[in-house]
Amino acid sequence: MDGTSGQINQGITKLNLITKNTEGKAFIYFYYAGHGLPDEVTKESYIIPVDVSGSSLNSALKLKDIYLKLTEFPCKRVTVFLDACFTGGARNVGLLTSRGVKIKPKEELLKGNLIIFTSSSGDQSSLSYKDKQHGMFTYFLLKRLQETKGEISYYELAKYVKENVSLESILVNSKEQNSETIISPDLQNIWMDFKLK
């Protein structure tokens, strides 16, 4: 589904209310594939819903605010899968053509039980896997989840996605792409054994 700003905000608010009303027992999953841009002045990262123009970030959603909303109330875990571009280099390019995460969240912004799987690291681009009609990251993420029916540890999933995306991106797109896993300080020493299901 191509989410509008209002739809994405409603979804985030609903997840926020679920965590608020489950007394710390909720497991929250947030997946976003699409465009993102950095603010040219502040370098803050924004996701760009389908009804928002890249020329104005007024209705865009600040990534930091999404993380804060998802972790506002205690919960077992918040898992974010982020296949988006924050380099600003893909403004005039289609959704499946270039996705990369250049500006990663600052560590102090991450709180609570938050784990983020990103499509690439540093200033790399994350190009599509055209034959599979997905982004490279999304294809291998979904492939592994389907193969294991979700019975996989976070570490095993991160390792599988990173290894396959890194190699296949070179073979298919002739570019390096290394997915990254970003862990909030509260989970630094314990996240690897978490099971997705």
Q: Is residue 197 part of a domain?
A: no
Q: What's the pLDDT at 99?
A: 46
Amino acid letter, 96: L
Q: Is residue 195 part of a domain?
A: no
* Count: domains in the chain: 1
Q: Is residue 59 part of a domain?
A: yes
Q: What's the pLDDT at 146?
A: 96
For residue 148, CA distances in Å to 95, 122, 142, 143, 157 come to 28, 29, 10, 9, 10
Whether the model pTM is above 0.85:
yes
Q: Is residue 120 part of a domain?
A: yes
Distance, in Å, from the CA atom of 79 to the CA atom of 25, rounded to the nearest integer, reads 14
Q: What's the pLDDT at 106?
A: 44
Which structural domain, as residue segments, surrounds residue 18? 5-188
Q: Is residue 89 part of a domain?
A: yes
- CATH code of 184's domain: 3.40.50.1460
Written as tens digits, the pLDDT of the chain (197 aa) is 588 999 999 999 999 999 999 999 999 999 999 887 877 778 788 888 888 877 778 889 999 999 999 999 999 999 999 998 776 544 334 433 444 444 444 444 688 999 999 998 867 776 789 899 899 999 999 999 999 999 999 999 999 999 999 999 999 999 999 999 999 999 999 999 999 87
CA 18 to chain centre: 20
